[in-house]
Amino acid sequence: MTHAPRRSFLRLSGAALLGIAAPLTFAQNTAPRNRALFQVTENDPARWNLILGNMQNLRDGVGGEPIEIELVAYGPGINMLKADSSVKLRIAEALNAGVKVNACQNTMSGMKLVPADMLPEIAYVPAGVVEVMRKQQQGWAYIRS
């Protein structure tokens, strides 16, 4: 008889733990499993068109599965994110499809660029190489086209 209260306590503790673990598991399962990071350092419209096409192929390839796609541009590649970019329409299509496009603020500073020089819909990261490293640490697939 002395063991009955102990067993009840263990059952209640186990149930409480399951109640806590279930929401955590659910939260983990709702996040997109597919996350891809594209790094672009080239100031070449043909290269950018290839990469933007690869992003579309990736979205098409996973079908209806959730996916997060980000692009980080730094070095000479930052020029393709300027307001007068020859690939601005393709970048707008990618943005409309949910791609997050990031410009490196270190590169912008070195090239004396300000947000007014850039496409209005893009985002900014302090350092492109750090962003690439952090995303890889978080398990993102790294794609350098």
pLDDT in tens, 99-119: 999 999 999 999 999 999 999
CB proximity list for 86: less than 8 A, separation 6 or greater = 45, 80
Structural domain span for residue 6: 1-30
| Same domain (yes/no): 9, 57 | no
Give 76-105 pLDDT, tens digit per residue: 999 999 999 999 999 999 999 999 999 999
Q: How confident is the model at residue 33 (pLDDT cuts 50, 70, 90)?
A: confident
pTM recorded for the entire structure: 0.76
Please check whether residues 99 and 66 belong to one and the same domain. yes
18 and 45 fall within a common domain = no
Contact residues for 3 (Cβ-Cβ < 8 A; gap 6+): none
Q: State the Cα–Cα distance between residues 9 and 23, nearest whole angstrom.
A: 22
**Domain shared by 108 and 121, yes or no:** yes
Q: Output DSSP code: residue 74.
A: -
Considering the domain architecture, whether residues 64 and 14 belong to the same structural domain is answered as no
Instruction: Look at the block and give the residue holding tokens 């599965």.
Output: 65
Do 3 and 48 reside in the same domain of the chain?
no
Residue 102 has what pLDDT?
Answer: 98
